[in-house]
Structure formats: C-alpha cells, structure tokens
C-alpha cells in the first residue's frame, strides 16, 4: 500500500470539529480504531492483505495529526472519539462495519458498540483492555494512582514534554532499545515502527496527554456482558502494556468471544507477526458473518 492509494478527506464531526478520515480498498467496511498517537499505518500489513476484498476506513483522533482540536479543550474523552467514529461511518455512507481496535482503539470500539450497537457487525480487539488501564500497565496496581498525577504534571510543561519526545523518537537506536527492554519483539517491522515513532515529533503533547488521562478514566467492563456481536480478541504473550490476563478477562466477559494469544508477541503484534494476524483475521471475518467482496452467499 502506498500513501497515494489512501483517500483522505476532511469532514465536520458531531460538534463541528474538523477531522481527517481515510479510506482504502473495496468491499464490506472495516473501521479501524487506532492506538493513541498512531494512525492507519499501524495496520498496513492487514490493509495490504485484505484491501482487494474489504474497504478500510479510519480517522485521525481529534487534536492529533491532520485532525483539528475541539473548541472545547475537555472534549477528548473515549465517548467523544466514539461519536467521531460514528460520524466517520456516516461520512463514508456506511450503515454497519466490523470495528478493529488496537490499544486505545479497543476502548473506542467498545464505546461505539455501547452508543450504537446496530452499527457494529463485529469487533476485533487487539492489544487493548476494556478498563483499568493504568493499574494494568506492567501489572503494577500502584501505577493506577501515580500515572494520572504524572500526566497532569507533564501537561503543565508541554514544551519540555514535546522537546523530550522529539529527541527520543528521532534517535536511531530507539527501536533497538524497545526490543532489548522487551517492549517489542525481534520480528517487529522496524520501518513501520520507525515511521509511527517519528510521527510523534509533531504531536501536540498537551492534547495527547489529556487524551491519555481521559482514557485511563474510561471503563467498559460493566457492559461487556451485553456485547452480542462476533468478537475476536488478539493478545501478545509478552505485552507489557496490556497484559494477557486482562485481555483474557475481557474475552471471558463477552459471550462467544474468540481469543488468540500470539506467542512471543508484545503490544505490536500486528506489525510483529502480520502473517499470523492476517490469517486469523481473515478466518474470523469469513466465519462470523462478514464475508469478503465476491464471496458466495
């Protein structure tokens, strides 16, 4: 997939915030709910594999990349992002879609289901949790109290935070350090990871940190038992950010959910083991009621 293959358009969301949305491929729609600070490019292997049979739709979260920040600086909650997701479907003239969420996108996809279950044909939840984000990181419950305070402190000095972020992401050895620390697998697609990391250099860190803070406040666990669409949960065996135990609890709470644990995978399984993820995703879509373009009834 080349950047020129992706159609990018601007549109106004529910509160007038101008967002950038993206589309590529032909066929039944899959709405990509990205990770925080990521873009559709994190899904490039899945798009390349399936775009001749499915259409992929996505958007930049409000205040990040090509999307404008909302006029209300506090309108950065998971609920707001979910309303944006529904606005993307409206702008693309799609009544229903399978939602694929990675990391933060798992919470966004679940919230879309809560707001408009009739618009959701299925859920693919990758490397993310329904709630309890901060205590779950590194499986250290004490982080649940420390991280929100740290985020608020950093938001008061956005210039310093942005300068430090730019320095880190531009260091050529950043990817290698991520592997050495066990934050990424040795099979990681370094070109994609490097491109995503470099894009952090231009983010508004005050908005980014506020979105992260609001994400930590979100909890979809109380309504997981109400999710009644086909659901696939994909976890990394060595994911330090969203541990397998938390993802197993989420899968167990959704009736009929399937779960795949990627051996050796971390938080970035889609770009570490793309062939495995692609085949499992294709099987799920075919067998759970979202067949590709041209498939026999």
Domains defined for the chain, CATH in brackets = 3-131+219-287 (3.40.50.1820)
Give the pLDDT of residue 66. 95
DSSP label of 288: T
Q: pLDDT tens digits, residue range 104-154?
A: 999 999 999 999 999 999 999 999 999 988 665 655 555 555 555 555 565
pLDDT, mean over the chain:
88
| pLDDT band, very low/low/confident/very high, at 184 (cuts 50, 70, 90) | confident
pTM (predicted TM-score): 0.90
> Rounded CA gap, 133 and 120, in Å?
24
> Rounded CA gap, 269 and 128, in Å?
11
Higher confidence at residue 5 or residue 56? 56
Q: Which of 50-59, 97-106, 152-161 has the lowest mean pLDDT?
A: 152-161
| pLDDT band, very low/low/confident/very high, at 156 (cuts 50, 70, 90) | low
């Amino acid at each position: 997939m080349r950047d020129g293959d992706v159609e990018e358009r601007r549109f106004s969301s529910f509160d007038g915030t101008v967002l950038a949305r993206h589309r590529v491929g032909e066929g039944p729609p899959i709405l990509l709910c990205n990770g925080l600070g990521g873009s559709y490019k994190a899904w490039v292997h899945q798009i390349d594999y399936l775009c001749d049979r499915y259409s992929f739709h996505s958007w930049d979260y409000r205040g990040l990349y090509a999307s404008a920040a909302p006029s209300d600086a506090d309108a950065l909650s998971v609920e707001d992002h979910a309303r944006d997701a529904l606005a993307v479907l409206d702008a693309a003239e799609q009544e229903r879609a399978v939602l694929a969420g990675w990391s933060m996108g798992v919470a966004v996809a679940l919230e879309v289901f809560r707001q408009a279950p009739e618009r959701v044909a299925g859920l693919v939840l990758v490397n993310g949790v329904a709630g309890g984000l901060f205590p779950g990181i590194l499986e250290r419950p004490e982080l649940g109290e420390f991280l929100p305070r740290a985020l608020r402190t950093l938001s008061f000095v956005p210039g310093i935070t942005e300068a430090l972020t730019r320095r880190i992401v531009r260091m050529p050895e950043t990817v290698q350090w991520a592997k050495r620390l066990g934050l990424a697998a040795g099979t990681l697609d370094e070109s994609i990871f490097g491109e995503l990391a470099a894009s952090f250099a231009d983010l508004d860190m005050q908005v980014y940190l506020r979105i992260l803070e609001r994400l930590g406040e979100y909890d979809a666990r109380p309504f997981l038992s109400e999710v009644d669409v086909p659901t696939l949960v994909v976890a990394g065996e060595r994911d330090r950010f969203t541990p397998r135990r938390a993802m197993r609890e989420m899968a167990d709470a959704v009736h009929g959910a399937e779960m795949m644990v990627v051996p050796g995978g971390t938080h970035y399984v889609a770009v570490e083991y793309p062939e495995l993820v692609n085949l499992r995703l294709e099987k799920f879509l075919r067998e759970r009621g979202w067949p590709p373009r041209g498939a026999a009834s």
